[in-house]
Amino acid sequence: MAGTTSFKGDGSANQQSTLGGEVSVTIVAVRSNGTAQVKGEKRLLLSQGEEWVQVSGIVRLTDLDADNRIPSSRVADAHIEYAGNGPVSRASRAGWLSKFFNLISPF
């Protein structure tokens, strides 16, 4: 009795994103050292689904400008999450067969 098994596969993935805009945040807590914990969320309902941005982190109150704005590069321990649902979001996810092969052979 003899048997052979062979598998030949090829694949690639590419993702590129640019995120620009403004998100209003709320001060959750003010600390005695002149910093504040901030948190905010922005939801957009678009023709191709819903998208949202969540932002949280720590800012120095002295870094706020005259309009109470601060660039995201000045947010410490920043957590910025961008997600969405709809046909465009679903198209960029791996299919069930790809997920299966990644489970049994992650290399």
Host domain of residue 95:
26-104
Is 6 a member of any domain? no
Q: How confident is the model at residue 100 (pLDDT cuts 50, 70, 90)?
A: low
pLDDT digits (tens, 9 = 90+) for 56-94: 999 999 999 999 999 988 999 999 888 887 655 555 556
Quote the number of domains for the chain.
1
Query: Residue 45 is encoded by which pair of tokens?
Result: 């309902």
Higher pLDDT, 42 or 20: 42
pLDDT of residue 77: 95
Asked whether residue 95 carries a pLDDT value surpassing 70, the answer given is no
CB 50 within 8 A of CB 71: no
Confirm whether 1 is domain-assigned.
no
pLDDT at residue 25 is higher than 80: yes
Distance CA 18, CA 16 (A): 7
Residue 10, in any domain of the structure: no
